[in-house]
Amino acid sequence: MIIEAVKGDITQQPDIGAIVNAANAKLMPGGGVAGAIHWAAGPDLEKECQPLAPINPGEAVITKGYRLPNPYVIHCLGPVYGRDKPEDKLLSNCYLAALKIAEERGIESVAFPALSTGAFGYPFEKATEIALDTILSRIPALKSVKRIRFVLFSDRDLQYYERALERRRNKITKAVTEPVLKPGQ
């Protein structure tokens, strides 16, 4: 199992089987991650998304990647901080739902953005802790997924993820036979 954090563009991860979209309930193009993914994938992504919508906070659905370098996009609706309750459980459910879909499809690698931390207002540090603890809790059950990548927007965000991963090194080591924590690029 490889768990890594990198600074980059979620739409430019050619070695990843599925990227995760920080979607809106209607699965439509928007700002931030959703807008970038829809723009890079092209109009066929929106057409495939229409009959799958709406989704609720904590839920996820999967589509093809179209013009993206990835075969799949897993669309997760994270909670709006301060509105969708209980926001910590709903955010955790996003990561769990994405991993469940990846496992069901036999996808070996998944790249996540920092879900709900943009327009949905989730404090970055709290969201990071939830993301990593949720992923860590699922590692023993993963059969297909062998690489989990967190794609961060800024140097500051990357540094926080790297520190948070380092704090969990012992737990990760216990969760997997041969863990590899890779530093950011």
The number of domains in the chain is 1
State the burial class of residue 156 (Cβ atoms within 10 Å of its Cβ: 0-12, 13-18, 19+): exposed
As a whole number, mean pLDDT of residues 26-34 equals: 89
As a whole number, mean pLDDT of residues 15-21 equals: 97
Beta strands 2-7 and 180-182, pairing class: parallel
As a whole number, mean pLDDT of residues 68-90 equals: 95
Per the structure, the complete domain to which residue 163 belongs is given by 2-182
Q: How far apart are CA 155 and CA 139, in angstroms?
A: 26
Q: pLDDT tens for residues 158-176?
A: 999 999 998 887 666 666 6
Q: pLDDT tens for residues 106-153?
A: 999 999 999 999 889 999 999 999 999 999 999 989 999 999 999 998
pLDDT, residue 180, reads: 45
pLDDT, residue 182, reads: 52
pLDDT, residue 103, reads: 97
Which residues make Cβ contacts (< 8 Å) with residue 141, sequence separation at least 6? none
Mean pLDDT of the chain: 91
Cα–Cα distance list, 183 to 7, 10, 51 (Å): 10, 17, 39
pLDDT, residue 185, reads: 43
pLDDT, residue 179, reads: 45
CA proximity to 16, closest of 134, 110, 80, 94: 110
| pLDDT tier for residue 30 given thresholds of 50, 70 and 90 | confident
Identify whether the C-beta of residue 26 lies closer than 8 Å to the C-beta of residue 54: yes
Identify whether the C-beta of residue 49 lies closer than 8 Å to the C-beta of residue 89: no
pLDDT, residue 178, reads: 47
Give yes or no for a cis peptide into 179 (omega within 30° of 0): no
CATH number at residue 91: 3.40.220.10
The answer on pLDDT for 65 being more than 60 is: yes
pLDDT, residue 172, reads: 66
Identify whether the C-beta of residue 179 lies closer than 8 Å to the C-beta of residue 1: yes
